[in-house]
Structure 1
Amino acid sequence: MSPDASWNFAPGILIGLAVYVGVYVWRWRDCRVGSEPHPPSRWRLASFLLGVTALFAALVSPIDILGEQIISMHMVQHVLLLDIAPVLIILGFTKVLLRPATRRIHWVERRVGFIASPLFAILFYTLAMWFWHVPALYDAAAENSTVHLAEHLTFGTAGFLYWWHLLSPVSTRLRREGMTPIVYMASTKATVGLLGIAMTFAPVAVYDYYKEQPEYWGLSPLSDQAMAGAIMAIEQALVMGIAIAYLFMRMLDESEKRDQREERYGTPEERAAKVQAAPGPHPGVIEVPKGQPAPARPGEGPAA
């Protein structure tokens, strides 16, 4: 038996995606004209457009309708919203592209406090996945469009916050050196991967809504649930491996640039020593003519 594989041409989603693409393309083209020394590359544009395509696939393509009938397709929708789309979209940004909004972003981060911390991103990402896979909530999302929308918003927000700390071109509260990014990812992907493994090897089907669906594509409720869990577990492992490789390459690139700066200008300590050794007045140093007493320091009496 074949499921309904129609498209979801919701006007609000289509208009939102079109505006999103239009603003980005306008900003990308604006940064590539004139005398900008570091214009955004074409691969950044391609990455952003692929990310929006992932959103389109999750929300407009037949994946959305199929997710209401087949649990494994519902899981595909989840990983598109939680990982694939946020990763590709954030990789499409550069410091130049975000320059008009960078100060505003940092202002918001300071205002929201703990919500902008890496720990909150880890908790939000993990709890969002476990929370929405509670059988009663998962069934409610499949049955009710309003609950389904809330689920989508939760996954999209959790995914963007989580990947922003790792991949953002501007500084965040996450220290992206040494083992910190690996610990950040492993602490999250392992817990979410366990959920996928639990679904894969569960002895019975736990989602009543999908147990009532016909056996589309020859999938029984239990085999469909196992496939959904495998999709989650494998995707989490693959994304973590690719992200760690990318972060490692970026760390090497930043290290090489730092070595080139030090080779050309010297280390910060060497530059400071050169400033102190140079003739003439130095910042913070009071020059005293010969034969005159040194001026008193704040809080002290006159020099003897």
Structure 2
Amino acid sequence: MDSHNHLQGVSSGAGGASFSDLWSPDVMLLTLLFAIAYFLMTGPFHQRFDRATPATTKQKILFVFALILFYAAQGSPISYYGHHYLFSLHMLQQSILYFALPPLVLLAVPEWLWARIFQPKWLKTLLRIMTQPLVAALLFNTLFSFYHIPFIFDAAALNHEWMSVYHVVLLLTAFSMWWPIVSPLSDNQKQLAGLKKLAYIFANGVLITPACALIIFAENPLYATYMQAPQLFESLNTFSDQRLGGIIMKLVQELVYGSVLAYVFYNWYKQEKQDDLPMDQQPAPILMKTPATEEGGV
């Protein structure tokens, strides 16, 4: 198949997708609204909130990166082709939404704003329950695994509204799963530290493995949704696309979890070495300034 015929096949398989299909103006608008709200709340409007401080440069960069990833996953051709033609792109979309996006958002939003969001008592109670490490890990990984059971996946794919609801639930549980790792609230009783955090990250990696293994090592195509879809590339049939999707998911998950594990282990090891130093060699604690000390009071 020469390149001209190959491109013709891709074009016809894409069904003449429009600009709106490929680039989702509604998601583009939503992303823009998120950006405006964030930079107003953490910028000029932060003075309207008690004990609020502007977002740092690092937090702003992380939030912009998170918005780029969100739009890439939900509003770019990754979403369109992943939903209609390529399981591998669908898995790439999921990898971005559930493994890359949540920690970036949790780190990008200032602590005072998280405290403000969860100020209502019922939300605070829900947060406390949903971010218990055991609950958070089991809930996300169980829902994720159920989603990829073939008859559940195909049933959801036939109903766009149910698919959207399931994705929203998965995204929310992904945030709760990441919460004990990133711990955006310093007074959160469920935050983990040291070896407990390492064990929690490792456990999440183990819990998600069966779903990836089911896809990667299946002997036949699993999802009727993609068996019936037009084949965009001659070299990538339904079975190969399915296996590629499982590999993409596992690689992204391993890359993200591995990076976080390395970072957490480094900080834990550094703290352990510091704690082993004699008292006279340990760094002095950093004193936080208060209004009284700044004015010369006690």
Closer/same/farther in 2, CA of residues 231 and 168 from structure 1, 3 Å limit: same
- 2:256 maps to 1:242: no
Asked whether the equivalents of residues 125 and 188 of structure 1 are also in contact (C-alpha less than 8 Å), the reply is: no
In the aligned structure 1, how far is the partner of 2:63 from the partner of 2:237?
37
Give the partner amino acid of 1:40: A
| Partner in structure 2 of residue 22 of structure 1 | 36
Q: How many angstroms does 1:19 deviate by? A: 2.5
Closer/same/farther in 2, CA of residues 10 and 85 from structure 1, 3 Å limit: same
Closer/same/farther in 2, CA of residues 263 and 179 from structure 1, 3 Å limit: closer
Give the partner amino acid of 1:215: Q
- Structure 2 residues without counterparts, runs of 5 or longer: 1-8, 287-298
The match for 1:206 among 222, 230, 242 is: 222
Q: How high is the sequence identity, in percent, across the aligned residues?
A: 23
Bigger mean CA offset, 150-159 vs 248-257: 248-257
Deviations 1:104-125 (A, max 9, x none): 1786333565334222211121
In the aligned structure 2, how far is the partner of 1:230 from the partner of 1:242?
18
- How do 1:1-304 residues align onto structure 2 when only pairs under 5 Å count? 1-2=9-10, 3-4=13-14, 6-9=21-24, 11=26, 13-30=27-44, 40-67=55-82, 68-98=84-114, 100-101=116-117, 104=119, 108-110=123-125, 114-171=129-186, 172-218=188-234, 219-251=236-268, 264=284
In the aligned structure 1, how far is the partner of 2:128 from the partner of 2:283?
39
| Partner in structure 2 of residue 297 of structure 1 | none
Larger Rg: 1
Equivalences, count: 262
Asked whether the equivalents of residues 85 and 231 of structure 2 are also in contact (C-alpha less than 8 Å), the reply is: no
In the aligned structure 2, how far is the partner of 1:7 from the partner of 1:215?
18
| Partner in structure 1 of residue 294 of structure 2 | none
Q: How many angstroms does 1:252 deviate by? A: 6.5
In the aligned structure 1, how far is the partner of 2:258 from the partner of 2:85?
31
Output the TM-score relative to the length of structure 2: 0.76
Which protein, 1 or 2, shows the higher relative CO under an 8 Å CA cutoff with sep ≥ 6?
Answer: 2
Give the partner amino acid of 1:245: A
Asked whether the equivalents of residues 43 and 54 of structure 2 are also in contact (C-alpha less than 8 Å), the reply is: no
In the aligned structure 1, how far is the partner of 2:34 from the partner of 2:190?
27
Output the TM-score relative to the length of structure 1: 0.74
Closer/same/farther in 2, CA of residues 240 and 27 from structure 1, 3 Å limit: same
Bigger mean CA offset, 124-133 vs 109-118: 109-118
Closer/same/farther in 2, CA of residues 99 and 143 from structure 1, 3 Å limit: closer
| Partner in structure 2 of residue 283 of structure 1 | none
Q: CA RMSD in A?
A: 3.3
